[in-house]
Amino acid sequence: MNLIGINSKGQLINEEEATLSYACNSPKVVHECQRIRNEIGIGIGEQGDDGDGRGHGLFHDLFHDLYQRTGAPLHNAYALPQLRVYYKNNENNNNNSNATKYNENEKNKSEEGQKDVYKWTTISSYCLLRWTGQIFENNNINNDDDKNSSNNNLFKEIPISFSEASWTGLFNFRTCTWDQKCLDLLPDQCRKSLPRVADYTCENEQYVIEEYCSGSRTVTGIGTTRVRNPYWERWPELRGSYNSSDNANDSNNNCKLFLGFGDGI
């Protein structure tokens, strides 16, 4: 399991806390698991529990129901407790910052929003964002109209696969959607930042390495400028094209990229 936070420009959040991993063993996250158990009524020692934390009767049914929907137990290795801890920490940091007076107003403005997760994604989908030219280095916006846009982002979101979503422990594998009961345990900001999910083949979308970055813009914001995709030259064997006629005429432009797979499938 992995989730990484990116801002509205597609840049990685420069904080270790915005990287979630199956290897997490943070005491805060372990404690958060117990808090979740208490919230949904799975208490240790209740209803004839043998001490294994599973519970019996109604409490066991709730836990078993969660497991049957997501295929994952309530554990610190999965996303639910890790995301809750991340947003709690983020809220506490914001409160501490608001309580302190700074004179560096311009610096604060430039950093505004950089620590907020616009979208969670996986390492493989983030790589696809880079390789396909949806985001690129130094993609700063200097257009005032774009700055003021509430929908401002320089990349087309790439979903994560059902496979990787199921590894988070938040995914209902029976409906192939994020599990609503898990979402109810997350803050609203987090729910809005979860990525789209799709089959790894993405039949309705194509992800290919094209010659130019699709999200590029001019510095002045007038029209668009074509920024060359560095991976076009770096990996000529992996070149692709959205235009099927191009593929037919050039055997080198026929590579399609797929969403990531989690292991153990």
Whole-angstrom distance between the N-terminal and C-terminal Cα of the chain? 13
Query: Among the listed ranges 88-102, 185-199, 228-242, which one has the minimum average pLDDT value?
Result: 88-102
107-116, 148-157, 205-214, 243-252: which is most confident: 205-214
Contact 128, 257 (CB under 8 A): yes
Q: What is the pLDDT of residue 212?
A: 84
Instruction: Return d(Cα 89, Cα 117) in angstroms, integer.
Output: 13
**Band of the pLDDT at 151, cuts 50, 70, 90?**
very low
Task: Look at phi and psi of residue 7 and say left if phi exceeds 0, alpha if psi is from -120 to 50, else beta.
Answer: beta
Q: What is the pLDDT of residue 55?
A: 45
Average pLDDT, the chain: 76
Instruction: Return d(Cα 120, Cα 129) in angstroms, integer.
Output: 13
Q: What is the pLDDT of residue 105?
A: 45
Contacts 24+ apart (CB under 8 A), 228-235: 229/132, 229/133, 229/136, 230/136, 231/130, 231/131, 231/133, 235/209
